[in-house]
Structure 1
Amino acid sequence: MKQLDVKLMHPVEQINVIIGRIYRSGMTTTSGGNISIRDENGDIWITPSGVDKGSLTPNDIMCVKKDGTVIGPHKPSSEFPFHKAIYETRPELTAIIHAHPPALVAFSISHKVPDTKIVPQAHNICGDIGFAPYGTPGSEDLGKKIANEFKNTQYKAVIMENHGIVLGGVDMMDAYQRFETLEFCCRTIVNARRLGEVNYLSDEQIAKYVNHIPTNIPHFMDIDYPSDERALRSEMVKIIRRACDQGLMISTYGTVSVRWRGDDFLITPRNVARWDIVPEDIVQIKKGMAEAGKTPSRAVALHQRIYQLNPHINSIICTQPVNLMAHAITGTKFDVRTIPESWIFLQDVPSIPFGLIYNDIDGVAEMFNHNKVILVENDSVFVTGDKLLNTFDYLEVAEFSANSLVMASAIGPLCPISDKEIEDLKVAFNVK
């Protein structure tokens, strides 16, 4: 199984893959949204008008030639005018996505621009966001208003007043990852506002995060891939795909590692879209060195230290599900004592300050002697366990529980179970 490299596909195939992914992820409807690619000839390939987004094929994708000639079995999207206007305004952009994902539409209809500085990589991916005033859908007027926002070369994403979002990219994957990450930010902010005030990162904190990304990891050349190692790679890929399918991970963020032999382990690579990771992408770590030709996750040093200090831990998942992150960006306690079954699985979940996972690796790693799950403010959630499937189960339980807590916040104060009831659980389920 080879990596799905969208960049190498024909435009009709790229559009078909990405619109399908957007639709299956619940970020557009059967009739809503449109995406396009401008090729090296200046021709624009675009989704058709009035065709079910859930069953599009490459044969349905339309082409509008540079001279205006239309090729294909349907009409081009009614929003073609603003796609064309953006390409004319920003020649470096070759892919555009327009859709109506719920959280971004919430910002659109409240006339607000999301602040993406809730986690470091989100701002780096999305940048500053523009806001285009209302225009009739499909009109030349709307195209002019959107293109006018894109004249500001800092913007690669523009909120459309009472409409949705339009994003550009230097290629289709660049546009898609920006789109997916921006919707993640908006969903997280909306959920977080139910819990309390959102804490945003400063430019200085984001810069420190970038500076902590390792750049000089040593590599080893003598690499072997015995059958047990290959089996772990396949298992990791299945769990990563499952996490993406269930909204527990997005293409731009998520780290999975599994102990292999001793303190050696396998870990996900950096800068490979999580949706598309294949076994060959996984990075082998031996004695603190990465296999030659690959770059491991930015969190590789912490994963290594967790394995070294915690022999009972054999797998780690680090990710950013929206409901757990709603707690992480507000500093709201993730109170697992509200749901007995969740507490049995997870026990109490502490929260640690942003940056601590870089500044005190040993201290954080030692916390996993007593904690399965740790929230890192404005960063991520770390989940640990024995078998990878068990660790994934803990992640699911944690996010489902966090979702219930977010929903409960709209109903009334939380009512956790008592210390006596917790003691009863410890005895009944042999929890230490």
Structure 2
Amino acid sequence: MKKLDVKLMHPVEQINMVIGRIYEKGMTTTSGGNISIRDKNGDIWITPSAVDKGDLTPKDIVCVKKDGTIVGLHKPSSEFPFHKAIFEARPDINAIIHAHPPGLVAFSITRQVPNTNITPHFRSVCGKVGYAPYGCPGSKELGKKIADQFIGTDSKAVIMENHGVVLGGSDMLDAYQRFETLELCCCTIVSAGKLGKVHALTDEQIQQYRAQIPSKTSQFSDVGYPSDELAIRRDMVNIIHRACEQGLMISTFGTVSARWSGNDFLITPHNVSRWNISADNIIQVKNGMTEDNKNPSYQVPLHQRIYEQNPHINSIIMTQSPNLMAHSISGTKFDVRTIPESWIFLQDVPSVPFGSLFDDIDGMANMFDKNRVVLIENDCVVVTGDKLLNTFDYLEVAEFSANSLVMAASVGPLCPMGDAEIDELRVAFSAIIR
């Protein structure tokens, strides 16, 4: 998986890589969507019109110079007018993504705006979402209607009535992360709606949550990197990239840690794209202190306590996979008594109230004495295991099971296994059931 390092890549490389990623993730079609970048000269680089999105190369990207001159092998996207209008309206926006991903289109064609307050993270990355009335694709009228939603606001995301979505960013990475996160938000709301009622947080709840985020930890500078520590870094990076590729993690959210020595461990950083994460981004935590000059996840205190209180746990993954989050925001019980394999690996999965990450760290850590997976309402899922690969496997099993439950909601009443069947599993698989 290639990194998106916007500081070192030419606009044509950035656009080619991002449109390829969007296409591969099923968030646009061969003919749908367009993305653009405004460079420091004021020139606009944009995807071409009528060229296969699944087969684009950097040489296909078109440049529209500041004076209107077109440079390239193709015509610029027919939607260029609204890209230009947004850039003119918002000097702080230098990259734009327009596409028709299924979750966002569901809101577009029902003429609704997604409530990003379903988790603090979604609200933080996506903000409040604007809404632009219908306009004919490619028209100046549509460009004006969209640009009007960006004028006088700090919004960087707009639902286009019966069309799709347009998002902006300070650079292409910022725009892509907002796009990916907002699509996950929409898909989570849609799936949660199949299970029950969607519960959103108030602005006050989100503010209180943010106020509880721990301040920066104490740091140490005498860092050593022995071979066993480097091996853990490599394994963590591989698992994180794999999680992103499989839709179990997105670029803006996901905390992974692994025990190294005693209660010392390695953990992912804050505010580094999970798609781009590399071994040197991973952070040592020793005696509760973190590597100097690095910005660790704010979940360091919780991970520290889990390792201290649970010697059998050697790795932790916290993420927002879509179907587990559908249970999280709907308050619906995640019932793993559905197929034997799910229960054998996961046992019963409890759900705890929003805010539990900060309100009672000791209580949260103690839960993993008997539970491998815990859902936190309107927040995330926490998965633990004795090895990193096992922890990832538990996450996969949990998300697959959650997906089946979401799909079952449209088929008929859920028919879980009974106590007799569960007792039989306890006996037959006692070696792997805690």
Please give the TM-score of this superposition, normalised by the length of structure 2: 0.98
Tell which deviates more after alignment, 114-123 or 54-63. 54-63
Aligned residue for 2:121? 121
Contact kept in structure 1, 2:213 and 2:358, CA below 8 Å = no
Aligned residue for 2:337? 337
Superposed, 1:273-352 pairs within 5 Å as 273-352=273-352
* 3-state secondary structure, aligned to 2:223: coil
Q: C-alpha separation between the residues in 1 aligned to 2:279 and 2:223? A: 15
Aligned residue for 1:242? 242
Superposed, 1:48-127 pairs within 5 Å as 48-127=48-127
Cα distance change on mapping 1:128 and 1:2 into 2, 3 Å? closer
Q: C-alpha separation between the residues in 2 aligned to 1:3 and 1:150? A: 29
Q: C-alpha separation between the residues in 1 aligned to 2:261 and 2:177? A: 34
Aligned residue for 1:383? 383
Aligned residue for 2:132? 132
Shift in Å, 1:242: 0.3
Q: C-alpha separation between the residues in 1 aligned to 2:144 and 2:200? A: 33
Aligned residue for 2:407? 407
Contact kept in structure 2, 1:90 and 1:150, CA below 8 Å = yes
1:148 paired with 2:164, answer no
Q: C-alpha separation between the residues in 1 aligned to 2:289 and 2:256? A: 17
Deviations 1:322-366 (A, max 9, x none): 000000001100000112110001000000001111111011101
Question: What is the number of residues matched between the two proteins?
Answer: 432
Aligned residue for 1:369? 369
Aligned residue for 1:8? 8
Tell which deviates more after alignment, 343-352 or 196-205. 196-205
Identity %: 70
Q: C-alpha separation between the residues in 1 aligned to 2:142 and 2:21? A: 27
Cα distance change on mapping 1:84 and 1:227 into 2, 3 Å? same
Shift in Å, 1:184: 0.5
Deviations 1:258-289 (A, max 9, x none): 00000000000000000000000000000000
Q: C-alpha separation between the residues in 2 aligned to 1:416 and 1:95? A: 48
Shift in Å, 1:9: 1.5
Shift in Å, 1:2: 10
Shift in Å, 1:154: 2.7
One-letter identity of the residue aligned with 1:419 = D
Q: C-alpha separation between the residues in 1 aligned to 2:4 and 2:127? A: 26
Contact kept in structure 1, 2:4 and 2:173, CA below 8 Å = no
Aligned residue for 1:392? 392
Shift in Å, 1:212: 2.1
Aligned residue for 2:179? 179
Cα distance change on mapping 1:4 and 1:163 into 2, 3 Å? closer
Contact kept in structure 2, 1:7 and 1:173, CA below 8 Å = no
One-letter identity of the residue aligned with 1:7 = K
Cα distance change on mapping 1:2 and 1:162 into 2, 3 Å? closer
Deviations 1:211-255 (A, max 9, x none): 222223100010000000001000000000000000000011001
Aligned residue for 1:21? 21
Q: 5+ unaligned residues in a row in structure 2: which ranges?
A: none
Q: C-alpha separation between the residues in 2 aligned to 1:2 and 1:53? A: 18
Contact kept in structure 1, 2:48 and 2:60, CA below 8 Å = yes
Cα distance change on mapping 1:380 and 1:396 into 2, 3 Å? same
Deviations 1:23-66 (A, max 9, x none): 11111111111000111111000011111112211111100001
Contact kept in structure 1, 2:4 and 2:14, CA below 8 Å = no
Q: C-alpha separation between the residues in 1 aligned to 2:21 and 2:378? A: 27
Q: C-alpha separation between the residues in 2 aligned to 1:320 and 1:150? A: 29
Shift in Å, 1:379: 0.4
Deviations 1:118-158 (A, max 9, x none): 11011111111111111111111111111111113232111
Q: C-alpha separation between the residues in 2 aligned to 1:271 and 1:91? A: 24
Q: C-alpha separation between the residues in 2 aligned to 1:329 and 1:140? A: 39
Deviations 1:180-236 (A, max 9, x none): 110000000000000010111111111122122222310001000000000100000
Contact kept in structure 2, 1:324 and 1:399, CA below 8 Å = yes
Q: C-alpha separation between the residues in 1 aligned to 2:298 and 2:20? A: 30
Tell which deviates more after alignment, 201-210 or 307-316. 201-210
Cα distance change on mapping 1:338 and 1:2 into 2, 3 Å? closer
One-letter identity of the residue aligned with 1:304 = Q
Cα distance change on mapping 1:97 and 1:3 into 2, 3 Å? closer
Q: C-alpha separation between the residues in 2 aligned to 1:4 and 1:185? A: 22
Q: CA RMSD in A?
A: 1.2
Contact kept in structure 2, 1:317 and 1:383, CA below 8 Å = yes
1:255 paired with 2:251, answer no
One-letter identity of the residue aligned with 2:264 = D
Cα distance change on mapping 1:281 and 1:2 into 2, 3 Å? farther
Shift in Å, 1:3: 6.4
One-letter identity of the residue aligned with 1:351 = S
One-letter identity of the residue aligned with 1:251 = S
Q: C-alpha separation between the residues in 2 aligned to 1:230 and 1:55? A: 37
Aligned residue for 1:426? 426
Tell which deviates more after alignment, 17-26 or 101-110. 17-26
* 3-state secondary structure, aligned to 1:290: strand
Contact kept in structure 2, 1:3 and 1:278, CA below 8 Å = no
* 3-state secondary structure, aligned to 1:337: coil
* 3-state secondary structure, aligned to 1:252: coil
Q: C-alpha separation between the residues in 2 aligned to 1:2 and 1:229? A: 24
Q: C-alpha separation between the residues in 2 aligned to 1:25 and 1:409? A: 25
Cα distance change on mapping 1:240 and 1:162 into 2, 3 Å? same
Aligned residue for 1:213? 213
One-letter identity of the residue aligned with 1:29 = T
Tell which deviates more after alignment, 6-15 or 137-146. 6-15
Cα distance change on mapping 1:3 and 1:76 into 2, 3 Å? closer
Shift in Å, 1:7: 3.0
Tell which deviates more after alignment, 48-57 or 107-116. 48-57
Superposed, 1:158-237 pairs within 5 Å as 158-237=158-237
| Runs of 4+ with >6 A deviation | none
Shift in Å, 1:4: 4.5
